Amino acid sequence: MKKAIYSFIYHKLLGWKHKVSIPDYDKYIICAAPHTSNWDLLIGKLFYGAIGRKTFFMMKKEWFFEPLGSFFRFIGGIPVNRSKKNSLVDQMAEEATSRKTFHLAITPEGTRSANGDWKKGFYYIAFKAQIPILLAGIDYRTKCITIEKEVFPSGNIEEDMRTIKTYFKRFQGKHPENFTTGDI
Protein backbone atom coordinates (compact mmCIF):
# COMPACT_ATOMS: atom_id res chain seq x y z
CA MET A 1 0.00 0.00 0.00
CA LYS A 2 2.80 2.44 0.94
CA LYS A 3 4.64 1.67 -2.30
CA ALA A 4 1.49 2.46 -4.29
CA ILE A 5 1.10 5.82 -2.55
CA TYR A 6 4.76 6.75 -3.09
CA SER A 7 4.53 5.63 -6.71
CA PHE A 8 1.33 7.63 -7.33
CA ILE A 9 2.86 10.81 -5.92
CA TYR A 10 6.28 10.35 -7.57
CA HIS A 11 5.08 9.20 -11.00
CA LYS A 12 1.55 10.54 -11.48
CA LEU A 13 1.38 13.76 -9.44
CA LEU A 14 4.96 14.95 -9.87
CA GLY A 15 5.66 13.34 -13.26
CA TRP A 16 9.04 11.83 -12.35
CA LYS A 17 10.52 8.63 -13.83
CA HIS A 18 13.32 6.30 -12.83
CA LYS A 19 15.90 3.99 -14.37
CA VAL A 20 17.33 1.38 -12.01
CA SER A 21 19.50 -1.45 -13.28
CA ILE A 22 21.42 -2.23 -10.10
CA PRO A 23 20.30 -5.06 -7.79
CA ASP A 24 18.81 -4.29 -4.38
CA TYR A 25 21.73 -5.45 -2.23
CA ASP A 26 21.13 -5.99 1.48
CA LYS A 27 23.66 -3.27 2.31
CA TYR A 28 24.93 -0.26 0.39
CA ILE A 29 25.61 3.45 0.41
CA ILE A 30 23.59 5.57 -2.02
CA CYS A 31 25.67 8.43 -3.34
CA ALA A 32 23.06 10.93 -4.61
CA ALA A 33 23.90 13.98 -6.71
CA PRO A 34 23.49 16.69 -7.79
CA HIS A 35 22.18 18.09 -4.52
CA THR A 36 21.19 21.68 -5.27
CA SER A 37 17.83 22.05 -3.51
CA ASN A 38 15.98 21.00 -0.36
CA TRP A 39 13.45 19.38 -2.73
CA ASP A 40 16.04 16.66 -3.47
CA LEU A 41 15.24 14.97 -0.15
CA LEU A 42 11.51 14.77 -0.87
CA ILE A 43 12.01 13.63 -4.48
CA GLY A 44 14.57 11.05 -3.37
CA LYS A 45 12.39 9.64 -0.58
CA LEU A 46 9.38 9.41 -2.91
CA PHE A 47 11.54 7.68 -5.54
CA TYR A 48 12.86 5.13 -3.09
CA GLY A 49 9.39 4.44 -1.73
CA ALA A 50 8.03 4.09 -5.29
CA ILE A 51 10.54 1.34 -6.07
CA GLY A 52 9.74 -0.39 -2.78
CA ARG A 53 13.02 0.25 -0.99
CA LYS A 54 13.68 1.91 2.34
CA THR A 55 16.63 4.20 2.98
CA PHE A 56 18.13 6.29 5.73
CA PHE A 57 19.86 9.63 5.37
CA MET A 58 22.05 11.85 7.53
CA MET A 59 21.09 15.46 8.07
CA LYS A 60 22.57 18.22 10.21
CA LYS A 61 21.11 18.10 13.70
CA GLU A 62 19.93 21.70 13.51
CA TRP A 63 17.00 20.52 11.35
CA PHE A 64 15.75 18.16 14.05
CA PHE A 65 13.62 20.64 16.01
CA GLU A 66 9.97 19.82 16.65
CA PRO A 67 7.74 19.11 14.85
CA LEU A 68 10.22 18.61 11.96
CA GLY A 69 12.53 16.42 14.08
CA SER A 70 9.90 13.73 14.60
CA PHE A 71 8.99 13.83 10.92
CA PHE A 72 12.62 13.52 9.76
CA ARG A 73 13.24 10.59 12.11
CA PHE A 74 10.05 8.91 10.89
CA ILE A 75 11.18 9.07 7.25
CA GLY A 76 14.68 7.76 8.04
CA GLY A 77 16.64 10.81 9.14
CA ILE A 78 19.72 10.43 11.32
CA PRO A 79 20.78 13.69 13.05
CA VAL A 80 24.48 14.50 12.66
CA ASN A 81 26.60 16.99 14.57
CA ARG A 82 28.82 18.53 11.88
CA SER A 83 30.37 21.15 14.19
CA LYS A 84 32.96 18.80 15.68
CA LYS A 85 35.10 15.96 14.48
CA ASN A 86 33.87 12.60 15.64
CA SER A 87 34.02 9.04 14.45
CA LEU A 88 30.93 9.32 12.26
CA VAL A 89 32.52 7.09 9.61
CA ASP A 90 33.30 4.44 12.22
CA GLN A 91 29.80 4.68 13.70
CA MET A 92 28.08 4.31 10.33
CA ALA A 93 30.41 1.48 9.23
CA GLU A 94 29.65 -0.33 12.49
CA GLU A 95 25.90 0.20 11.91
CA ALA A 96 26.29 -1.22 8.41
CA THR A 97 28.10 -4.34 9.55
CA SER A 98 25.80 -4.98 12.50
CA ARG A 99 22.50 -4.72 10.59
CA LYS A 100 20.93 -7.27 8.27
CA THR A 101 20.01 -4.46 5.85
CA PHE A 102 21.60 -1.04 5.60
CA HIS A 103 20.76 1.54 2.92
CA LEU A 104 22.20 4.97 3.65
CA ALA A 105 21.77 7.88 1.21
CA ILE A 106 24.43 10.58 1.27
CA THR A 107 24.91 13.69 -0.86
CA PRO A 108 28.68 13.97 -1.40
CA GLU A 109 28.78 17.73 -1.95
CA GLY A 110 27.82 18.25 1.69
CA THR A 111 25.93 21.41 0.75
CA ARG A 112 23.41 22.72 -1.78
CA SER A 113 25.98 25.24 -3.08
CA ALA A 114 28.60 24.57 -5.75
CA ASN A 115 31.40 22.58 -4.10
CA GLY A 116 33.93 20.66 -6.17
CA ASP A 117 35.65 19.39 -3.03
CA TRP A 118 33.24 16.57 -2.26
CA LYS A 119 33.07 15.01 1.18
CA LYS A 120 34.50 11.50 1.20
CA GLY A 121 32.78 10.07 4.28
CA PHE A 122 30.35 8.05 2.14
CA TYR A 123 33.34 6.40 0.47
CA TYR A 124 35.11 5.60 3.73
CA ILE A 125 31.93 4.16 5.28
CA ALA A 126 31.46 1.86 2.28
CA PHE A 127 35.16 0.89 2.22
CA LYS A 128 35.28 0.15 5.93
CA ALA A 129 32.01 -1.85 5.85
CA GLN A 130 32.97 -3.52 2.53
CA ILE A 131 29.68 -2.60 0.84
CA PRO A 132 29.00 -1.12 -2.60
CA ILE A 133 28.21 2.49 -3.43
CA LEU A 134 25.19 2.94 -5.70
CA LEU A 135 25.31 6.11 -7.79
CA ALA A 136 21.91 7.86 -7.90
CA GLY A 137 21.74 10.72 -10.39
CA ILE A 138 18.95 13.25 -9.83
CA ASP A 139 18.09 14.96 -13.12
CA TYR A 140 15.52 17.77 -12.97
CA ARG A 141 15.85 18.41 -16.72
CA THR A 142 14.39 14.96 -17.54
CA LYS A 143 12.62 14.47 -14.17
CA CYS A 144 14.35 11.12 -13.76
CA ILE A 145 16.44 9.48 -11.05
CA THR A 146 18.94 7.03 -12.48
CA ILE A 147 20.87 4.28 -10.69
CA GLU A 148 22.84 2.46 -13.36
CA LYS A 149 26.29 2.26 -11.80
CA GLU A 150 27.79 0.87 -8.64
CA VAL A 151 31.28 1.25 -7.27
CA PHE A 152 32.94 -1.26 -4.98
CA PRO A 153 35.53 0.82 -3.08
CA SER A 154 38.99 -0.40 -4.02
CA GLY A 155 40.94 1.70 -1.53
CA ASN A 156 42.30 3.84 -4.38
CA ILE A 157 40.15 6.82 -3.47
CA GLU A 158 41.47 9.13 -6.19
CA GLU A 159 40.60 6.71 -8.98
CA ASP A 160 37.26 5.71 -7.43
CA MET A 161 36.24 9.36 -6.85
CA ARG A 162 37.15 10.19 -10.46
CA THR A 163 34.80 7.36 -11.59
CA ILE A 164 32.04 8.58 -9.25
CA LYS A 165 32.31 12.26 -10.23
CA THR A 166 32.44 11.42 -13.94
CA TYR A 167 29.16 9.49 -13.64
CA PHE A 168 27.36 12.55 -12.23
CA LYS A 169 28.46 15.02 -14.92
CA ARG A 170 25.45 14.12 -17.10
CA PHE A 171 22.81 15.04 -14.51
CA GLN A 172 21.30 18.48 -13.92
CA GLY A 173 20.15 19.61 -10.48
CA LYS A 174 17.20 21.89 -9.79
CA HIS A 175 19.69 24.78 -9.64
CA PRO A 176 22.43 23.74 -12.11
CA GLU A 177 24.65 26.68 -11.18
CA ASN A 178 24.99 25.14 -7.69
CA PHE A 179 26.59 21.89 -8.89
CA THR A 180 30.15 21.08 -9.81
CA THR A 181 32.27 17.97 -9.79
CA GLY A 182 35.39 20.09 -9.47
CA ASP A 183 38.62 18.93 -11.04
CA ILE A 184 38.39 15.30 -12.09
Decide: residue 176, CB within 10 A, 0-12 exposed, 13-18 middle, 19+ buried: middle
Res 57: pLDDT = 79
Res 55: pLDDT = 87
Between residues 181 and 138, the one the model is more confident about: 138
Q: What is the pLDDT of residues 72-117, one digit of tens each?
A: 888 778 787 766 566 888 888 988 998 899 999 999 886 666 777 7
Res 86: pLDDT = 62
Q: Which residues pair with 99 in a beta bridge?
A: none
Q: Which residues pair with 52 in a beta bridge?
A: none
Q: The whole model's pTM is what? A: 0.86
Give the model's confidence band at 30: pLDDT under 50 very low, under 70 low, under 90 confident, else very high: very high
Report how far apart the first and last C-alpha atoms of the chain are (Å, whole number).
43
Residues 123-129: what's their mean pLDDT?
96
